[in-house]
Amino acid sequence: MAQSQGIPNVELVVVGDDVSVPRSRGKMVGRRCLAGITMVCKIMGAASEEDASFEDLLKLGRSLASNIGSVCTALEHCHVPGRSEFASIPEGRIEIGLGLHNETGVMNVPLPSPESLIETMLDLILNQDDPERAFVPFAPEDVTVLMVNNQGGLSPLELGAVVDETLKQLKERGVEPERVLSGVFMGSMNMPGMSLSVMNVSNVAKDTGLSVDKIISLLDAPHTAPAWPATAGVYPLPEKLRNRPLSERLTEISPEETKESAPKGPALKADPELIRQILQKAAEDVVALEPELTHWDTLVGDGDCGETCAAGARGVLSHLDTLCASDLVSLFRELTEVIDDAMGGTLGAIFSIFLAGLTTSTMAAARQSPQPAVTPQLLGQLAMGGLETLQARTAARVGHRTVMDSLIPFAETLANSGDVKAAAQAARDGGEGTARLTAKLGRAAYVGDREDVDMPPDPGAMAFVAVAEAIAACSQ
């Protein structure tokens, strides 16, 4: 968004340090972010404090991101307060390759000895002969940094034992880290587990032209981050900040200050009563589906899809009386804002982008002279315009086990035939068909095909099925 507004010096540094997902499975979705990102932030932050140029910071950040390998393991998933259902690891087993968001591990194995577990984790990070997971090059003489991250549920004594065994095994491999960082850097609430991260400082030095000592000094630089291990270089908080009154520490921004005026243009008229019926039924049906969505997502994702979809639906219901249902341009624009505010996660972003694209295509239709009649087929064509915007920002397509498996068939069928009932059936066929697919994108891609559970349909796809069927039911 900042780039589209012409703001200079805006770029992405994408950190994907997880090495547990093999290349063949994660080649489309990319690697996940684990605790290694905190080292990236710490070093880049210190370099920024020293007034490094934007280009140098970008180069440094991207080199750091590509030279950290991490893997997470746990005895149990975290328990989210207020959620009654969550994935569970059977007693006597352990998962390796979990994500930060409660995603199921890549491997579910009988509980090994601590020594064997750490050996497996280090192999995933350091083994240069594994073509599927040798993401970071390591040579015997390379300078490294070790981070042992507490996922939230280990005692200091247990974490210390992990550090001790890890250092012992690294030394046997000829690796003696220049720095060892231990603590809760990026936790998952009460998850009884830990992650190991190894950063190759020598590679970063070669990429950036900085010396190894300089990079280590940036890692050691003074800071005010409470969770970072205390060092002699912790910044004292300046007195003028220490003594600020509470009113100066907190700033409230009213919604009116952030509200931007919408661009003016012609309206595309619609039946407001029908629109409100569709919105209400779709939202209520999604809320009712929340327990099933949550159950399915605990098996293949991080367990929050149901809550995410229900939050978006409740946002629509709360704005039902104020949405401009008589003008499709205003309606889709306002729905974009509602979903963007109410619905988090990747699925919320997908729907927001789709609605933004739908708004753009509807504005173009409204500017036509004469204006086209608002028919189901026109709405399908407008939805295809929204999909064009969305597909420019995601690689997800039909067959990838995502929401696109129901959204694309619905839009295509409606645009080609104008038959709302047939379009809803196409959405259901696509959504239910995801149970037979291997995920290519989304968090389910990290899990792969599991033999210990019957794979459910994709929760996001089935959430849109509820929306499509509500549209069909109200349109008859």
Residues with catalytic function: 101
CA pair distance 274, 289, nearest whole angstrom: 22
* Structure tokens given for 31: 């690697």
Given the structure tokens 């907190």, which residue do they identify? 250
3-state secondary structure of 59: helix
Residue 73 gets which letter from DSSP? E
- Please give the backbone phi and psi of residue 253, each rounded to the nearest 5 degrees, phi first: -115, 120
CA pair distance 156, 182, nearest whole angstrom: 9
Q: Cis omega (within 30 of 0) on the bond before 370?
A: yes
- Please give the backbone phi and psi of residue 199, each rounded to the nearest 5 degrees, phi first: -105, 130
* Structure tokens given for 390: 């969305």
Please give the full DSSP string across 215-264, using - where no structure is assigned: HHHHHTS----TTSPP-TTPPPPPHHHHT--HHHH-----HHHHPPPPPP
Residue 323 gets which letter from DSSP? S
Beta bridge partners of 71: 196
Beta bridge partners of 380: none
Q: What is the 3-state secondary structure (H, E, C) of 433-456?
A: HHHHCCCCCCCHHHHCCCCCCCCC
Dihedral, CA of residue 48, residue 52, residue 54 and residue 58, to nearest 10:
-80
For residue 417, the surrounding DSSP H or E stretch is helix 404-417
CA 435, distance to chain mean position in Å, is 22
User: In which order are the strands placed within the sheet that holds 93-96?
Assistant: 107-110, 93-96, 68-74, 193-200, 144-150, 179-183
Under 8 Å between Cβ of 37 and 45: no
* Structure tokens given for 242: 């220490």
Hey, what amino acid is at 94?
I
Under 8 Å between Cβ of 300 and 106: no
Under 8 Å between Cβ of 471 and 407: no
3-state secondary structure of 13: coil
Under 8 Å between Cβ of 182 and 163: yes
